[in-house]
């Protein structure tokens, strides 16, 4: 089962639909739910975890269940592949020690993404593609132990991954049909084995 944490994104159900279309059972859980109720009893069933986007800022206050999951994944208490999208990406960055702040420009619409490192997330994805972006904040640099996988002209960390653990973050929205190769990127995560090439 793919566990999807809903952080208030209007696109959360698109993540679930993509998972279903690719043959993966999934479940959406609200970020206000507790770890003890939503994750702990289901650990054997959970294959991977996706943190949705959302309208909030990660530095504004309580980040709920998503924060607990990121912390436990970073320290190894929870050993499940993790993908953060937009807000989820920013939360991983912040909790791993990176600076998250407002971008030079708020982004809403199509942005061209440049792939810097292949990794499993961008297998069979072109070096340049268009993606749907919707955010005010951004990760300003890769946190220690992470590698930048992609950037855009306005955002230095459009995608990143942990050097050793299966922890990924993308600033853009692969679940939205406007994103070229979005289904491929999600599919790569759902079936990915983490491999960094040429580092």
Q: What are the catalytic residues?
A: 86, 173, 175
CA angle 179, 53, 93 (to 5 degrees): 105
In contact, 158 and 113? CB cutoff 8 Å? yes
Q: Which of 104, 94, 170, 167 is nearest to 132 (CA)?
A: 170
CA distances from 154 to 26, 75, 94, 128, 181 (A): 33, 31, 19, 15, 20
Q: Could you tell me the end-to-end alpha-carbon distance of the chain, in angstroms, rounded to an integer?
A: 32
């Amino acid at each position: 089962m793919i566990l999807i944490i809903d952080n208030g994104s209007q696109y959360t159900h698109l993540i679930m639909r993509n998972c279903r279309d690719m043959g993966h059972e999934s479940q959406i859980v609200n970020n206000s739910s507790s770890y003890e109720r939503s994750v702990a009893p289901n650990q054997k069933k959970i294959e991977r975890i996706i943190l949705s986007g959302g309208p909030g800022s990660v530095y504004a206050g309580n980040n709920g269940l998503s924060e607990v999951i990121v912390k436990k994944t970073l320290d190894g208490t929870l050993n499940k592949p993790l993908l953060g999208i937009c807000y989820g990406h920013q939360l991983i960055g912040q909790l791993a020690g990176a600076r998250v702040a407002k971008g030079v420009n708020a982004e809403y619409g199509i942005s061209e993404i440049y792939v810097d490192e292949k990794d499993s997330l961008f297998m069979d994805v072109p070096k340049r593609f268009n993606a749907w972006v919707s955010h005010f904040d951004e990760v300003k640099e890769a946190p220690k132990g992470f590698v930048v996988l992609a950037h855009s002209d306005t955002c230095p960390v459009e995608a990143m991954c942990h050097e050793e653990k299966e922890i990924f973050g993308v600033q853009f929205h692969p679940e939205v049909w406007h994103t070229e190769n979005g289904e491929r990127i999600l599919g790569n995560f759902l079936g990915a084995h983490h491999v960094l090439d040429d580092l």
